[in-house]
Structure 1
């Protein structure tokens, strides 16, 4: 039987009080714990990010305060990092998450944050770093995720297949920086709530031949917007914070139809 945690685990934090359970707050998944398998199909040029897995406990609570300073009790929570494991020589990377976290706090799986990044951002130029995009948050209970909200509700297993485009961005206000991001549909993190899921599969489709370039203004002035240069050579500066995803899709589909 495979371990419920087949990869490297790094406990990052735990917020609990001593009331309601013993002093030992560690995770200890039972051998027969139900498991959720998270698989990422990683395109060439990208790499799987470390998964951030959140567990919660209704036994080991802690005291928080609302906006007016009034104290209230919250579930304890603990996050661990899991590095997904490559499956043979394939492009699939997998992690198995124990639903029951065990221990005296009776931890239970709450959510997981994962995704893909560029393995070598420097391919886009010296000192280029990865920016944003390519992330996913899946919630397995009725609590909000670390990114806020519970996301799109899904029945049963969850399969995500999304298109992404490289976005190379230069920023000039403040310290100069150049980044490459994964431009996709929607927010930086795709958010889902999958209460019955046993399998989560994420397949990002990278269209590396269709790069969109952006450059922020050099002078902070009304009407100075980020300039986007699309793969077809068109230039747009209409006040958008990010590239027009549907425009990128149209450019690619038009180019592919001519082949």
Structure 2
């Protein structure tokens, strides 16, 4: 019996799937000798996201690397060099009962002939309904986390913090509604926090990663970009206390947002 390429790939993916895996992206097509094949007894890392009511968990991007299945790349000068092979897969965290916790388990040993090893995971939260901030508002960015489990860099973010052991992340975020006027005008809402778009961690020994974003929904920041691009035209930020700044920043002042909130909450 013969199978089409798509049917064959589907059978391979089904055979080697681990719980929660929803997509395989194989190097050079679907080749069995480069497929992930996690052993049944592979040690796992549990990633848990506590999702506030107005947000939703993003699909996780999981990276595996291999020092056996390498490929040739070229530097800026066109010189060839050898890179570790890699595979990316998407993984949707699963809600735990009726709680606000969403969880995924990542096999550390990716197995297969290439002896794949877990390298990093990118995950986070986004607004489930951006239009709550306006009819034409779309989601922008922010609310993301990158955790690196080896000595390689992630393509999404550099490492800001290094931790020993399990990782617990609790971070404050503020809604940021931005109006862009250059080109085609658009409105977006982002989650602005201390780590800009992504928080970056290296956790070589972690077996549990817990992320709890705390969204201060009553403290909304608004900004408007310049209509004309020229020197001296900056994005204008209107903070929750009514203060306005256009000092050349492209990103909100997180410490100012924190100070405004704490001052407001300290009033009788």
Q: Is the Cα–Cα contact under 8 Å of residues 15 and 77 in structure 1 kept in the other structure?
A: no
Distance 2:157 2:243 in 1: 36
Shift of 1:243: 1.2
Residue 57 in 1 paired to residue 70 in 2? Answer: no
Distance 1:192 1:14 in 2: 26
Shift of 1:11: 1.7
Q: Is the Cα–Cα contact under 8 Å of residues 5 and 96 in structure 1 kept in the other structure?
A: no
Shift of 1:15: 5.8
Distance 1:51 1:160 in 2: 16
User: Which residue of the partner structure matches residue 229 of structure 1?
Assistant: 238
Shift of 1:70: 1.8
Residue 75 in 1 paired to residue 80 in 2? Answer: no
Secondary structure of the equivalent of 1:24? helix
User: Which residue of the partner structure matches residue 57 of structure 2?
Assistant: 48
Q: Is the Cα–Cα contact under 8 Å of residues 211 and 231 in structure 1 kept in the other structure?
A: yes
Question: CA deviation digits over 1:131-162, x for unaligned, max 9?
Answer: 01000000000011122544421100111110
- Structure 1: unaligned runs, 5 residues or longer: 17-21
User: Which residue of the partner structure matches residue 194 of structure 2?
Assistant: 185
Residue 213 in 1 paired to residue 226 in 2? Answer: no
| TM-score, scaled to structure 1 | 0.93
Higher helix residue share? 2
- Structure 2: unaligned runs, 5 residues or longer: 1-16
Superposition misfits of 4+ residues, deviation over 4 angstroms: none
Shift of 1:24: 2.2
Question: CA deviation digits over 1:229-250, x for unaligned, max 9?
Answer: 1111111111111111111111
Aligned with 1:7 (options 6, 12, 20): 20
Shift of 1:13: 4.7
Distance 2:56 2:32 in 1: 38
Distance 2:25 2:213 in 1: 27
Residue 194 in 1 paired to residue 174 in 2? Answer: no
Secondary structure of the equivalent of 2:97? coil
User: Which residue of the partner structure matches residue 9 of structure 2?
Assistant: none
Q: Aligned pair count?
A: 252
Aligned with 1:119 (options 109, 128, 134): 128
The more displaced of 114-123 and 151-160 is 151-160
Shift of 1:186: 2.7
Residue 153 in 1 paired to residue 162 in 2? Answer: yes
Secondary structure of the equivalent of 1:238? coil
Question: Alignment RMSD, CA only?
Answer: 1.7
Higher strand residue share? 1
- The residue correspondences of 1:10-29 to structure 2 (distance < 5 A) are 10-14=23-27, 23-29=32-38
Aligned with 2:247 (options 219, 232, 238): 238
Secondary structure of the equivalent of 2:84? strand
| TM-score, scaled to structure 2 | 0.90
